[in-house]
Structure 1
Amino acid sequence: MIKLIASDMDGTLVNDEGKINEKMFELINNLHEKNIKFAAASGRFYSQLSKNFRKNKDKHYIYIT
């Protein structure tokens, strides 16, 4: 059983324009419905990550590395 999926931000979730593909937010919602947590792993400041994921603020974890 999968309980957590973690992904790097730069070059993985964030495109060349510095934006996250809108389909990712739908995917995070689908994971949440299946009780699977999503973690964005990044060296970015928490405030920036929080803005990136405000659409899914209750459906993910943010880890700062």
Structure 2
Amino acid sequence: MRSALRDKIIKVCQKKIEQKGENVGVSFYAFFANKNDEPELLMEAATWWIQTHQLDHFEKAQKIMEMIKAE
């Protein structure tokens, strides 16, 4: 996963946790606007989320952030 996407995921997860608490859930769509302006990054995130790690649609933001940092 490219570093720009990793940084974006961590930033979004941190923001969600600050706003809604430790138990907040996110999907990979949370890292993108509601328009398809970055299709390659969206597919990269979807591949990492669905194919590589076989995650549920919603996962805890804390878990995702820890997974990204561990890679």
TM range (shorter): 0.3 to 0.5
Using structure 1 for the length normalisation, give the TM-score. Answer: 0.32
Q: Name the one with the larger strand percent.
A: 1
Using structure 2 for the length normalisation, give the TM-score. Answer: 0.30
Q: Name the one with the larger helix percent.
A: 2
